[in-house]
Structure 1
Amino acid sequence: MLTTGDRVRDYVVDGVVGHGGSATVYRAHHADDPGAAVALKVLDDHHRDNVHLARLAREYDFAGTCRHPHIVAMTERGPYWLAMELLTGGPVSGLTDRADILVALGQIAAALDFAHSLGVVHCDVKPTNILLSEHFSDRGAVLVDFGVARALTDHLGRDITHIEASLPYTAPEVLYGRTPTAATDLYALACTAVELLTGATPFTRSTTFALADDHLRSPVPTFSRRIDWATHAFDSILAKAMAKDPELRYDTCTEFVTLITRALPV
């Protein structure tokens, strides 16, 4: 762990923002510009192996390629660290107003569609990977962490053997070992929408096997009979967005969010 005043090349650490499974994120500033804060993501010493270094490079390359108002902006990369824009509004799960949640979902949908247009699949859409600007009305929601992202041409025609996404948001085709597509991100966005709007992901069983089995075989839950604001249209839209067959889902993430925004009272 770094402490206040420590340096990573030209960046001076100001404090800890958060810690993940393999890295710590610090608030830092460039030594020549103390007023310009950045988020400095530094791999822990015991995670500086080839796999994690490659993942860090991939995060920088994919996010750097997808320059969009609602995708985190990269600044610089070192051998075991990234400097990127600092987002201080916390995770999207901090939003409580339904109208704001729908606005945030629309912004992330636009970011995902843009990434897809460039041939990039995020592969890990979930609330903890959606951060907010300090003042929501200024910038809104921003998609972060492209560490497990894939190009649409990666492994073309070949199945995958290792799942890196978060299971509560993982589409059935990924569990079957198929290559992720834009429809995979749409499925995860739908799971994220359910969690933000209802307080829980669509499938909540406690064991890995049971949760995976729900994604693969259980019907998409309905909410109109148990939540007063949920409409039958919301149930139908969600069922299509989370169809077991990715070919049956909506063509874009924006189409999905636009439909649920129209279907729900705000």
Structure 2
Amino acid sequence: MTDKASSEAIIRRACPSWARLEGLVVHGWKVLGPIGRGGTAEVYRLQHEKDKSEGALKLLLPDFAKDADCQKLFLREADFLEDFNHQGIPKIFAQTTVLDRLALIMDYVPGDNLMTLLHQGKKLPPLSVLMAACKIISYLHEQNVIHNDIKLANFILSPKGRIHCVDFGSARRLSMSSTFFRRFKGSEKVQGTPSYLAPELIQGKGPSKSSDVWALGILAHYLHAGSAPFQGEDASQTLKMILGNPMPSLKSRCEQVDGSLSNIVDRCLIIDPQLRYGTATELLEILRRYRDGTASHRRPR
């Protein structure tokens, strides 16, 4: 079996509904095949029967179909996508039910996620990718929305070289009253991906634009150094490492990084949220000035 065939077989096994969805037509869209799965949903490729355009079907996994919290988060993501208008964010065409489960019909974004590309050894231009991610998160912050789960796996690089953000399941408006811990399959977990979590989130405080900025700083470490600053054997150890150790500078982990760029990233990762860049918009402007040679920065203390 070729590597491609093996990969396709793995994806098909990971998408439990494929046998029942193959060839199904939903709102004029024909299901072509599985794309993959995330924590609570599986995703399938679609083709419109009339104009042959491509789309994607995001379908809640069977284990979460009756979970009220998961349904609420799923519908909230749909509401966000309906409101957003940005070329780096997929558009939503319809909310529906398929196999008695909530589903979204949305843009199909071809390509691989950045974490997959990193693992494959693909050379990614770190500054360009970081700025592209910042542009999308900046748009959210200007809408008073925080992403709340920024990570390489949630960004896709398209064949045209564009960066797209494809998962908004953890996003929330700052006006929402929020609980940081939520029940999930009978246990309480911190919402987010451990290696990207800001210290204040681990300590139980609510997410903010500043915690998104922290996650962008961690993303910069992945892009330049190939890994997060702290990565334990499990989630609990990772969280303890983040809280119990000083954050290493980007330059100490990747010597070829320019000192000024390292200082910019280091400021994203200051323990005190008030001392970081306040928003992704502010960070993006600083990165633009750095790229254009009009900014220099000292190492934050």
What's the TM-score bracket when you normalise by the shorter of the two chains? 0.7 to 0.9
The structure with more radius of gyration:
2
Q: Give 1:249's aligned amino acid.
A: R
Cα distance, 1:180–1:28 mapped onto 2, change above 3 Å:
same
The alpha-carbon deviation at position 168 of structure 1 amounts to 0.9
Pairing partner for 1:2 from 5, 18, 34: 18
Task: Show CA shifts across 1:59-87 (max 9, x none).
Answer: 11112222112122222111411111111
Gaps of 5+ in 2: 1-16, 183-189, 294-301
Q: Give 2:173's aligned amino acid.
A: A
Q: Give 2:46's aligned amino acid.
A: A
Pairing partner for 1:247 from 270, 274, 277: 274
Cα distance, 1:16–1:63 mapped onto 2, change above 3 Å:
same
CA distance in 2, matches of 1:106, 1:205: 28
Q: 1:205 is matched with which residue?
A: 232
Q: 1:71 is matched with which residue?
A: 89
Task: Show CA shifts across 1:209-251 (max 9, x none).
Answer: 3211222232111243453312333432222101112111113
Give the SS at the match of 2:181. coil
Pairing partner for 1:91 from 86, 99, 113: 113
Gaps of 5+ in 1: none
2:255 maps to 1:228: yes
Q: Give 2:231's aligned amino acid.
A: T
Pairing partner for 2:136 from 106, 111, 114: 111
**What's the C-alpha RMSD, in Å, of the aligned pairs?**
2.4
Pairing partner for 1:29 from 28, 41, 47: 47
Q: 1:125 is matched with which residue?
A: 150
2:191 maps to 1:164: yes
CA distance in 1, matches of 2:172, 2:217: 20
The answer to which of 47-56 and 225-234 deviates more is: 225-234
Alpha carbons 2:181, 2:191 under 8 Å: kept: no
CA distance in 2, matches of 1:260, 1:16: 37
The answer to which of 42-51 and 164-173 deviates more is: 42-51
Give the SS at the match of 1:78. strand
Give TM-score, length-normalised by structure 2.
0.78
CA distance in 1, matches of 2:31, 2:249: 47
Q: Give 2:210's aligned amino acid.
A: A
Task: Show CA shifts across 1:137-185 (max 9, x none).
Answer: xxx10112111111101127xx533322111111112112212111111
Q: Compare relative contact order (CA 8 Å, sep 6+) and give the higher one, 1 or 2.
A: 1
Identity of aligned residues (%): 28
Count of residues in Structure 1 that have an aligned counterpart in Structure 2: 258
CA distance in 2, matches of 1:119, 1:2: 37
Q: 1:150 is matched with which residue?
A: 172
The alpha-carbon deviation at position 186 of structure 1 amounts to 0.9
Alpha carbons 2:211, 2:273 under 8 Å: kept: yes
Alpha carbons 1:55, 1:148 under 8 Å: kept: yes
Give TM-score, length-normalised by structure 1.
0.87
Give the SS at the match of 2:156. strand
CA distance in 2, matches of 1:119, 1:254: 12
